Structure 1
Amino acid sequence: MSAAEHDVLVLGGAGVDTIVYVPRLPLPYADSYMIGSGIETRAGQTGDFVALGLSALGLRTHHLDMVGDDGPGDLVREFHRKHGIGLTALPLQAGTKRAVNLVGPDGRRLSLYDSTRADADGRVPEATVRGLAGASRHVHVSITQPWASALPLLRESGATVSTDLHNWDGTDGYHEAFAFDADIVFLSATALADPEATMHRIAEHGRARAVVATAGAEGARLLADGELTHVPAVEPPGPVVDSNGAGDAFAAAFLFGLLSGEPLPVCARYGAVAGAFACTVPATRAECIGRDELLRRAPRGVADLPAV
Structure 2
Amino acid sequence: MTTETDVLVLGGAGVDTVVHVPELPVPYADSYMIRPGIVTRAGQSGDFVALGVSALGLRAHHIDLVGADPEGDLVRALHRDRGIPLTDVPSAAGTKRAVNLVGPDGRRLSLYDDTRSQESDRLPEDTLRALAASSRHAHVVITHPCSYALPLLREAGLTVSTDLHNWDGVNPYHEPFALAADLVFLSTTALADPEHTMRDIAARGRARIVVATAGAEGAHLLVDGELTQVPAVAPPEPVVDSNGAGDAFAAAFLLGWLDGLDPLRCARYGAIAGAHACTVPSTRADAISRDQLLARVAESDADEQAAKVSG
* TM-score, normalization by structure 2: 0.95
Give 1:215's aligned amino acid.
Answer: A
Tell me how far 1:146 sits from its aligned partner.
1.0
CA, structure 1 residues 301+110, in 2 after alignment: closer, same or farther (shift >3 Å)?
closer
How far 1:296 sits from its partner (Å)?
A: 1.4
- What CA distance in whole angstroms lies between the structure 2 residues aligned with 1:124 and 1:81? 21
Cα deviations by residue, 1:112-137 (Å, 9 ceiling, x for unpaired): 00111113225331111111111100
Q: Paired residue for 2:58? A: 59
Counterparts in 2 of 1:201 and 1:226: CA distance versus 1, 3 Å: same
Q: d(CA) in 2 for partners of 1:143 and 1:113?
A: 14
Instruction: Name the residue aligned to 1:159.
Output: 158
SS at match of 1:236: coil
Residue equivalent to 1:88? 87
Contact 1:266 1:301 (C-alpha < 8 Å) held by counterparts: no
Q: Distance in 1 between matches of 2:24 and 2:202?
A: 35
Tell me which amino acid in the other structure corresponds to 1:146: P
Unaligned runs of 5+ in 1: none
Distance 2:43 2:121 in 1: 23
Aligned-residue offset at 1:31: 0.6
Matched, 1:195 2:186: no
Matched residue SS, 1:294? helix
Instruction: Using the aligned pairs only, state the percent identity.
Output: 71
Residue 69 of structure 2: aligned partner: 70
How far apart, in 2, do the equivalents of 1:299 and 1:257 lie?
Answer: 14
| Corresponding residue number in structure 1 for 2:309 | none
Cα offset, 1:300, TM superposition: 10
Q: How far off its partner does 1:233 sit?
A: 0.5
Aligned to 2:262: 263
Distance in 2 (CA, whole Å) between partners of 1:146 and 1:299 is 40
CA 1:124–1:286: 2 relative to 1, 3 Å = closer
Runs ≥4 residues deviating over 3 A: 299-302
Number of the residue aligned with 1:116: 115
Aligned partner of residue 114 in structure 2, secondary structure: coil
C-alpha distance in 1 between matches for 2:236 and 2:246: 17
Is residue 165–residue 186 contact of structure 1 (8 Å, CA) maintained in 2? yes
Q: Report the AA paired with residue 162 of structure 1.
A: S
Over aligned residue pairs, what C-alpha RMSD do you find?
1.4
SS class of match (1:26): coil
Q: What per-residue deviation string (whole Å, max 9, x for no partner) do you get for residues 133-157 of structure 1?
A: 1110000000012110000000011
Give the superposition deviation at 1:301.
Answer: 9.4
Residue type of the alignment partner of 1:25:
L
Note the C-alpha offset of 1:292. Answer: 1.1
CA offsets per residue over residues 164-197 of structure 1, 9 Å max, x none?
A: 0001110111101100000000001100111100
The answer to whether 1:148 aligns with 2:147 is yes
**Cα distance in structure 2, aligned partners of 1:133 and 1:300:** 37
SS of equivalent to 1:211: strand
Q: Which runs of 5+ in 2 are unaligned?
A: 305-311
Q: Corresponding residue for 1:21?
A: 20
Query: d(CA) in 1 for partners of 2:121 and 2:20?
Result: 35
- What letter corresponds to residue 71 of structure 2 in structure 1? P
Instruction: Give me the whole-angstrom Cα distance separating, in 1, the residues matched to 2:211 and 2:252.
Output: 13
* 1:238-268 Cα deviation digits (max 9, x unpaired): 0000000000000000000011111100000
How does 1:1-16 map onto structure 2 within 5 Å? 3-16=2-15
Structure 2 partner of 1:290: 289
Contact 1:189–1:195 (Cα < 8 Å) also in 2: yes
Task: State the aligned residue count.
Answer: 302
Which letter maps to 1:261? G
Q: TM-score, normalised by structure 1?
A: 0.96
